[in-house]
Structure 1
């Protein structure tokens, strides 16, 4: 099962009595907006106990069209990678 943004909002709303549904939506949106802005600017995002999102630059490289088999050059681009924290990794592995 995939957890959606709506699921996160619902959990926050249900767990914290003092928050309205609107405040829960605004809190989730604010966190995601800050995370996106950080990554777009090229900075890494570290969430202690969860993991680190890194922005990496990929060079231009040779690629291949899988349908036709013809070679082509893939443009340089930036990608976001994620490395889980040791705490998260251990919990996912049941340790």
Structure 2
């Protein structure tokens, strides 16, 4: 089992190997994918990565929160968060 997260350099190398391509084009493909996902989620859309999961932007309403250090309650404005839902195929492959 891996103990450290895969770095971008390692991911680019593995991607280049799987694509039978060079690292430069694999890096460009990875950067383009990240930009496309970022733009789509930023605009309120969702992106499904088959076999991996679905990334979407979700709006959270205004709410009361508590400062854990002081116990003081205050109102937090509405905001947006990115939610990632893992695909069942990935969950099943991990639990084999």
Task: Count the aligned residue pairs.
Answer: 93
Q: Which runs of 5+ in 1 are unaligned?
A: none
Counterpart of 1:42 in 2: which secondary structure?
coil
Residues 55-93 of structure 1: per-residue CA shift (max 9 Å, x gap) = 110001000111111111111111111111111111111
CA distance in 1 between counterparts of 2:90 and 2:19 reads 23
What is aligned with 1:13?
16
Instruction: Specify the SS of the correspondent of 1:53.
Output: strand
SS in structure 1 at match of 2:30 = helix
SS in 2 for 1:37: helix
What is the CA–CA distance in structure 2 between the aligned matches of 1:15 and 1:50, rounded to whole Å?
Answer: 17
3-state SS of paired residue (1:69)? coil
TM-score, normalized by length of structure 2?
A: 0.87
Moved over 4 A (4+): none
Cα offset for 1:13? 2.3
Unaligned runs of 5+ in 2: none
Over the aligned positions, Cα root-mean-square deviation in angstroms equals 1.3
